[in-house]
Amino acid sequence: MPPPVSRADAGATLEGFLDGISARAFRFAEAGLRHREDAMDAVQDAMMKMLGYRDRPAEEWTPLFWTILRSRIVDAQRRRTLRLGWMSSADERREEGVDWAGHEPDPSRAHEGREAYGELVGALRDLPRRQREAFTLRVLEELDVATTARVMGCGEGSVKTHLSRARDALQKRLEDFR
């Protein structure tokens, strides 16, 4: 039987978990929000919320974190839609969309992978939200179907449908890139 984990060790373990997931979480949030600062805010909020769950078993952290982050992204998207609808003209909304779509991937990526990464990010951004979430959580994060369904708040069949549609759309979009 393993020795009991002290509260200090649990905090360090949660810190290690958050450190290990931060880059992937940021890419997930950035793909959903299409705005770097909003993505950083969403990830930071999700990580702060996770601190309240430090006493939960470590095997619960992954689905819990992705559920929290997804909720933060959806909230930010709703706030943005409301803000853009109330406080800006149609011309300003179009300008916002151009800025988001033209955002470049992280420049520290290796030169040969930069173009492929940009194409993948662009293709993911063009997917409907549910398809993008299903693909990211199942393929990139390698969560199982049940956990992905829990994170997305839907049934396992819906996850499979969204994932299938996402793969079809990505394959068609990236076919020319090969």
Instruction: Report the pLDDT value the prediction gives residue 114, as an integer from 0 to 100.
Output: 65
Task: Write the CATH number of the domain with boundaries 106-178.
Answer: 1.10.10.10
- Cα separation, 25 vs 47, in Å, equals 10
pLDDT tens, position by position, 32-78? 888 899 999 999 999 999 999 999 999 999 999 999 999 999 888 88
Three-state DSSP class for 6? coil
Residues of the chain with CATH 1.10.10.10: 106-178
pLDDT tens, position by position, 86-112? 444 445 444 444 333 334 444 444 444
| Mean pLDDT rounded to a whole number for the chain | 78
